[in-house]
């Protein structure tokens, strides 16, 4: 997992792949404040984004997930949110496999020990070898957020 704030991109961009750089440059240059909850194309199916407006929930109500084909760049445009994460170990139990249709696998509860707390302007990058549990309330208090998830083709 890599995290940061869009105001500090010049520090991180030299260390990223071309497609991750494109994704973060898209985040930096786009005004998401009036965008609707739909999918937007950035570079065909190599890079696209989904705008999401919702209220965060308690961790126990959210399901851990991972992706096989795409890296998630989760950018918080408004609000605050906690995302729990851990590496895939191979012994996790898949309870719902939508990998062919939507590139998402959902898991039975896993024991994530780490989390990232996002606020306005923050992003977190999750790779296919990581499980993450997004949309969790920070400090146990639900919050209204606008989050942009930029999907970057991993392979």
Q: What is the DSSP string of 52-102?
A: EEEE-B-GGGSPPEE-SSEEEEEEEEESEEEEEEEE--S-PPEEEEEHHHH
pLDDT recorded at residue 155: 82
For the record, the structure tokens of 144 come out as 């209204």
pLDDT tens digits for 84-128? 999 999 999 999 999 999 999 999 999 999 999 999 999 999 999
Do β-strands 65-66 and 104-107 pair in parallel, antiparallel, or remain unpaired?
antiparallel
Structure letter (DSSP) for residue 103? S
């Amino acid at each position: 997992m890599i995290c940061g704030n869009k105001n500090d991109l010049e520090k991180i961009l030299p260390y990223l792949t071309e497609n991750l750089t494109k994704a973060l440059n898209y985040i930096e240059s786009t005004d998401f404040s009036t965008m609707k909850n739909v999918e937007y194309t950035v570079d065909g199916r190599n890079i696209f984004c989904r705008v999401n407006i919702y209220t965060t929930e308690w961790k126990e109500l959210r399901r851990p997930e991972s992706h096989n084909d795409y890296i998630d760049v989760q950018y918080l445009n408004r609000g605050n949110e906690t995302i729990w994460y851990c590496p895939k170990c191979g012994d996790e139990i898949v309870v719902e496999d939508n990998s062919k249709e939507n590139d998402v696998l959902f898991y039975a509860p896993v024991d994530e020990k780490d989390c990232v707390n996002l606020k306005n302007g923050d992003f977190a990058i999750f790779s296919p070898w990581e499980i993450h549990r997004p949309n969790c309330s920070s400090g146990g208090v639900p919050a209204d957020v606008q989050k942009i998830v930029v999907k970057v083709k991993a392979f």
